[in-house]
Amino acid sequence: MSTNDAVTFWEDVYGGRQAATDPRPNQRLAQIAAGFPPGDALDLGCGDGGDALWLARQGWRVTAVDIAAVAVERLSGLARARGLGDRVVTARHDLQESFPRGTYDLICAHYLQTPFALDRATVLRRAAHALRPGGRLLVVDHGSAAPWSWNQDPDVHYPTPAEVAAGIGLDPVTWTVERADAPRRTATGPDGRTAEVTDHILLVRRTA
């Protein structure tokens, strides 16, 4: 499938539903990053913008990117409406083709999974290299399918955090894996249904 197919798909996903007026952050981000000192953050695949807005409220300066123009435009409007326009910068990026410039203290990739071609290992490797010394890369992936997920393939393989780390192939002299586990939680879907799901969490810190 082509890049145009991916853009059209995600534009339709966000454009086909009502814009979120108060998007919430991903639970894992709020749990893990709450104690980090604020700095510059990069949100890869910002979606409705809950993570970027939460980080901005905690004092972070956030660059938020997504393949869907409608997603970044909506987030930009939400940030301005909440007085966070000076802390949230949005940009459209197809991460298969381009990666934001700059260096960061925190880079988040929450559920950066897609039915289209995406060399995630290369994207996450670029992210790790974009960290400042002491900065962290937080990757949270689906470890199971919720009933409302777009992917209901029973044979799909969800890479473990260890497999994701191995795929990135970071030198342990420069990067340290601080966390790699698969906790479960109760998730709430768009229609209000709840289900127990598994998250795959990988937290990597640049130490040099």
Res. 1 pLDDT band, cuts 50 70 90? very low
| pLDDT at residue 166 in the model | 97
CA angle 16, 94, 102 (to 5 degrees): 125
| Nearest residue to 204 (alpha-carbon basis) of 117, 108, 119, 61 | 108
* pLDDT of 57 higher than 90: yes
Report d(CA 79, CA 175) in Å as an integer: 33
For residue 114, what are the CA distances in angstroms to 57, 88, 96, 110, 130? 28, 25, 11, 12, 23
Q: In angstroms, what CA-CA distances link 56 with 35, 155, 192?
A: 14, 38, 27
> Among 3-7, 87-91, 176-180, which stretch is predicted with the lowest mean pLDDT?
3-7
Neighbour-count burial of 22, counting CB atoms closer than 10 A to its CB (0-12 exposed, 13-18 middle, 19+ buried) = exposed
What percent of the chain is predicted at pLDDT more than 70?
A: 97
> What average pLDDT does this structure show over 86-90?
98
| Domain that includes residue 22, residue range | 3-206
pLDDT digits (tens, 9 = 90+) for 183-194: 999 988 877 889
Q: Where are the beta strands (DSSP E) in the chain?
A: 40-44, 61-66, 88-92, 104-110, 131-142, 175-181, 184-188, 194-206
pLDDT of residue 2: 53
For 186, phi then psi, to 5°, come to -95, 120
**Per-residue DSSP letter, 62:** E
Residue 98, CB-side half-sphere exposure with 13 Å CA sphere = 10
Closest of 137, 130, 134, 133 to residue 180, by C-alpha: 137
- φ and ψ of 137, to 5 deg: -110, 120
DSSP label of 159? -
Kindly report, residue by residue over 39-56, the tens digit of the pLDDT.
Answer: 999 999 999 999 999 999
Q: How far apart are CA 28 and CA 12, in angstroms?
A: 26
pLDDT at 123: 97
In the predicted model, what is the mean pLDDT of residues 119-130? 97
Choice between 102 and 116, residue whose per-residue pLDDT is larger: 102
Q: Where residue 29 sits, what CATH number does that domain have?
A: 3.40.50.150
pTM, full prediction:
0.92
For the chain, what is the domain count?
1
